[in-house]
Structure formats: C-alpha cells, structure tokens
Amino acid sequence: MAFSCTLTMRYERQLFFKFIGKEGQEKIREGIVTIVGVGSLGSISAELLARAGIGKLILIDDDTVELHNLQRQSLYDENDIGKKKVIAAKDHLSKINREVEIEIHDSKIDENNAELLNGIVIDGTDNMKVRYVMNRYCKSNKIPLIYGAIASSFGMVYFINEGPCLECILPHTVPSITCEADGVINTISYITASLQANQALKYIVGDKVEDSLISVNVWENDLKKIKVKSRIDCPVCSGKDENIELEKFIIRPCKNKAAFSLRERQQQKIDIEKVRKLMDTVSVETKVALIGNIDQEEIIIHPHGEILFKKCRDKEKMRMIASKLFA
C-alpha cells in the first residue's frame, strides 16, 4: 500500500530507521496491541506505540486517575484526576495520533473475559493474579505476552512466546519489593515501558526479539540480560493441570522488627478502616501502619497488604488472624 504524503512526513524518521523502513511501518500500521493496565507502564507504552503509528490499541483498566499517578503516568494531567483511566488515555492518545484505532474496556482481566486479549499483549498491571491469567490464556492461544514490572529503581521485561512462561520464571511468588512498600522512581517506568514497546515493535516488524529476561536498575545504571529456562513442573508449559492448590497466605521470617511477615498470595490490600474495628486494641495508627493487638498477638498492619507478627510463632494462628483481616 502506498504511503500518503502526510504519513510519510509523520513517520519520516522511523522510515529512515533501517530495521523498520516502509515495509516495517506498514506492518506497524496493521499491528494490534492489547495493553492490560494503563498505569505507569501501560500509559507510557500506549503513547510510544501510538506515536509509532500502531494500527490498533486495546486498553483494559478499571482504575481512576489519582493525583499520585501523575508522578509517572505520562498520559495523564491534572484535569484527568477522577476520570476513568481508559477514557482519559483514549482522549490523549487520539490527540497524539488520530489514525490509531483505540478500543477501551473499563474492566479487570480475569478468566471470564480473557478473550479480550488480542494481537500482542503488554503487561501494564501490578497484579500477579491478573498476570497469571494473561500468561495462561496467551500461552494456550499462542499470543505473545510482554511481561513488565517495576518497583523502587528496578524494572524487568520478559517476552513470553514459545519459550519459558511467566509461571516458569515466577512460580507463584510474592515480589520481594513493591511500589506500595518501596516506592518507585519515574525514570524506571519510562525505561521499562520503552523496553516493552520496543519488544512489541520488533515482533511486529519481524525482527528477532530478545528472549532473555531484561533486568534494569536505573539508579545504578545497570542493565542485565538473564537467560531463563522452562520449569519441568510448570503447570502451564507441561500441559498438566491448572487448578493448583496454593496456600492462601505466604508467611516468611522477617529480618527486622517482627518475627514473621504475612502476605496474601494474590497481593490483596488491607482496608485499615475495616480492620481497626476487629482489633482488640490499637496503640499506633498512621497512614502507612496500624499497630495493635488481636487475639493476644501484637501485630503491625500495612495497608499495602502485609501483616507483621511481633512474637507469634504459630503459623496456624497467623493464618487464622489473617483470614479475619483479609476478609
């Protein structure tokens, strides 16, 4: 198909780039990318792909823009606070490039709506449960999935296609660092999302896509490529089933302050308003922690989804208390 004069001008510098050229640009124009989560990673990769001239973007997110998002979520501005992210994202992306077809879904991906995932899928979520659903659906439907995660100054990107899947490399683990607990610097969002968008573009134009896990620590100017292997007992890659029974809570010995740390496997958060009423006593309450007693145990609760047990050694009792607090 011939390029119009405007199109040639718009993508001029990309057409000169030897790995894309006119043929690559045409493939990009026919490309479909689904972005799950249009927060920091998703909004940046959506913007990059729209500017690159992607044919269609499918945006899925049920969140609303909040003030603290503006530190790193490039598509939004102060006027968007309170708006649904997918609506605000579509509005800004259409102004950047009206040629891009944008389909939006104000929802969260789960087993019942995974068929919304089409083309190439970019992981912009911060939720492991959603990631495992995407991983299983994409693997079984041979849809490439570009995993991305950030926290603190660290970022990871991994292109999942024919090789090891997400459950091979992250078999139902709880991340050791999270944005809620450890913060996040906005520069790592841009680097990580750029790497994800880059993988998508390379795949679309038919270039070889990096199959190592890419790990970046922007604060240390460090980028590593890590070879990953399939796990023999991976329930997804081995084709064995699917309904793995997992412990609901992950309990780990703690290095400081408390004896044990407990988190819910799916990274559920804790509603401090609600749990305050369940406590026997509350001694300290701040925005980031609630300290008190429940069932004769002294605990510290962090709303991002962690309970620290100061003296308790009985894991059954920890699970029992956690079941009340995560209810």
Which of 128, 150, 165, 216 is close enough to bind Zn ion by CB under 5 A? 165
Of 168 and 191, which has the nearer Cβ to Zn ion?
168
Of 46 and 236, which has the nearer Cβ to Zn ion?
236
Window of 45-53, 159-167, 205-213, 318-326 that interacts with Zn ion by CB under 5 A: 159-167
* The one catalytic residue among 179, 237, 254, 312: 179
| Closest CB 102 distance from Zn ion, rounded Å | 32
Q: Say whether 179 is catalytic.
A: yes
Of 165 and 308, which has the nearer Cβ to Zn ion?
165
82: which 2 tokens? Answer: 């309170």
Burial per residue of 77-92, b for 16 or more beta-carbon CB atoms within 10 angstroms, e otherwise? eeebeeebbbebbbeb
Which of 58, 168, 170, 258 is close enough to bind Zn ion by CB under 5 A? 168
Contact partners, residue 309, CB within 8 Å, separation at least 6: 258, 259, 260, 261, 262, 297, 298, 299, 318, 321
Q: How far apart are CA 156 and CA 298, in angstroms?
A: 36
C-beta separation of 146 from 160 below 8 A: yes
| Closest CB 210 distance from Zn ion, rounded Å | 18
Burial of 281 (0-12, 13-18, 19+ CB in 10 A): exposed
Of 96 and 246, which has the nearer Cβ to Zn ion?
246
Site for Zn ion in 224-263 (CB under 5 A): 234, 236-237
- Residues in contact with Zn ion, total (CB under 5 A)? 6
| Residues annotated as catalytic (active site), given as ranges | 179
Residues that bind Zn ion (CB under 5 A): 165, 167-168, 234, 236-237
